[in-house]
Amino acid sequence: MDISTVSVGFLGAGRMATALARGFCQGGISASRIIAVDPYSQACKDFAQSVGEHVVVHSEPNAAFLQSNVLFLAVKPQVLPQALAALSRQLRPEQLIVSIAAGIGLSQLEGGLAVGTRVIRVMPNTPCLVGAGASGISGGSHATEEDLDLVTALLESVGIVEAIPEKLMDALTGLSGSGPAYVFQMIEALSDGGVQMGLPRQTATRLAAQTLLGSARMVLETAEHPGQLKDAVTSPGGTTIAGVHALESGGLRVALMNAVRASAERSAELA
């Protein structure tokens, strides 16, 4: 789908809005067709510097913002209800509303907008900043297949997209939404291990990060089960099986599963 003619508004100009806007520009949307609104001047300044000199940024909604084809709600979940209340009467019926607020369900979003408003809920993650994001998408009761196709095309400019039932959105939040934090901890821990064994910190961190990056690419590009790929590098009586045994003894699997569960449960609580 050609997204170059779409105009996109962002209510909120934080890190995720910035990441998405940059990706949309790389995907073919001119920066001049992107409009952000944020009451904080520093957020506006940072957004403009990151996205491009022709991007439009304002401290409050204006006519251009309210004319955008797709409007992303990119504010914190705690303030979204108030933001919707202030904005709902100004929106046009033909505008497509996309929320990236964690824990705020489609029924709650639709309840704060005019009857018949087309709403889509999305959970992206911060690797969108480098074009390697993972996003989940669910459509509201009035969203069409064309709406879902359009938002999917936008999100594919910053990574991969999975369409899921909304009842699984909390699970996705716990896995890929919060998942980068778990991976950053893994990289840091691997780097610490390298330093403990004598590697310089910078070298250890680069090696750890590249190891996770390369391993992830192998999973995605070969489509093999992670267990099979693990077995392929685990020789009998070798160094890798010794390390795997240490991870199992330390409860790595259980810790990561518990992290996904805890994050998913917190996402449900936010609703």
Read off the pTM: 0.87
85, 24 Cβ separation under 8 angstroms: no
Which residues, in sequence order, are bridge partners of residue 137? 122, 163
Beta strands in 55-184 (DSSP E): 56-58, 70-73, 96-99, 118-123, 133-139, 159-163
Asked if pLDDT for residue 208 goes beyond 90, the answer is yes
132, 141 Cβ separation under 8 angstroms: no
Summarize pLDDT for 87-145 with one digit per residue, the tens: 888 888 789 999 998 888 999 898 888 888 999 999 999 898 888 999 999 999 999 99
Please give the Cα distance from 270 to 178 (Å, whole number). 14
Which CATH superfamily includes the segment(s) 8-169? NAD(P)-binding Rossmann-like Domain (3.40.50.720)
Fold that domain 179-270 belongs to in CATH: ProC C-terminal domain-like fold (1.10.3730)
Domains of the chain, residue spans: 8-169, 179-270
SS3 content of the chain, % helix, strand, coil (to 5): 55, 15, 30
Please give the Cα distance from 51 to 232 (Å, whole number). 42
* One fold for 8-169 and 179-270: no
